[in-house]
Amino acid sequence: MEKFELDILGCGSATPTTLHNPSSQVLNIREKLFMIDCGEGTQLQFRRSKLRFGRLNQIFISHLHGDHCFGLIGLISTLALLGRTGDLFIHSVAGLERTLRAELDFFCRDNPFQVKINVFDPHNSETIYEDRSLTVKTIPLSHRVPCAGFLFQEKQKEAHLLPDMIKFYNIPVKELSRIKQGADFITEEGKVVPNGILTKPSEPARSYAYCSDTAYDERIVPLIEGVDLLYHESTFADSDIARAKETGHSTARQAAQIAKMAKVKKLMLGHFSARYPDNSILLEEAREIFPETILANEGLREKL
């Protein structure tokens, strides 16, 4: 199967610690890199992960809290120093253009490439990026400021032709495209040859959902149903549920409840509060409800 990998660059919350960097991660899909959030220190983590700066073209910013976007200007400056010439696209809620453009005009006025900002509405689920193999949709989240998660969905490939059967039935080349798309073949004598004996299914399309930052909100369940991997914030343990509600965040147990309701295949916890020197308490609470749970950690590379 072609590459579909998630690299965790940062999975802490607002305050950087010696354990975790602020939020950032990169999806490597067929050697195209898609960055999600860009907290302080992201470019250093990017280097440590041995990812290639030249393959990064799309950045998705969930909301305008500093731990999710303070790393942008440094990353953009480094891309210029490395000789980048192609445009860089940033997808964000409204407001980033005003703040980032001032920094770009001051620090990066001689950049050899353009930074283009695509503004999306965080209150609706909409497609904000699409190419031949992938679509990216927003997931409205419940936080103190406008915020959205992101759903990355691989497009289902056409079925694979079985060469021996194609040859056996002497099927013309002009029919092959229709057959790959699911059509049966009808011979000159009128016999129907079922598609199932002419093809084999392609690998299932993969999907990844990023939901941070957000309070517990069951409205996202239909949008993320059945995804291969769900990253859901788990800023707090259950003992701090009142603080979670107050700040627009979730507990690990609440993240697990969402994963269970959405029937996802695997849950990854992240956006950990600095108050927990050991995140295993969060993992234990989540696994009581959803056993297929893992912890995010800097340097983790998860293959889908």
The residues assigned a catalytic role are 67
Structure tokens at 129: 């990026």
In three-state secondary structure terms, 284 is helix
Q: Could you tell me the two tokens for 211? A: 């939901």
Q: Which secondary-structure segment (H or E) carries 3?
A: none
How far apart CA 152 and CA 189 sit, in angstroms, is: 45
Rounded Cα gap, residues 210 and 235, in angstroms: 14
Residue type, 38: C
- Residues 296, 231: contact at Cβ < 8 Å? yes
Burial of 138 (0-12, 13-18, 19+ CB in 10 A): buried
Cα-based distances in Å from 273 to 6, 99, 214, 244, 276: 22, 27, 14, 10, 6
Cα–Cα dist 234/44, whole Å: 24
Tokens of 202: 């392609």
Residue with the two structure tokens 């980048």: 84
Distance CA 123, CA 147 (A): 8
β-sheet bridge partners, residue 207: 153
DSSP string, 79-93: HHHTT--S-EEEEE-
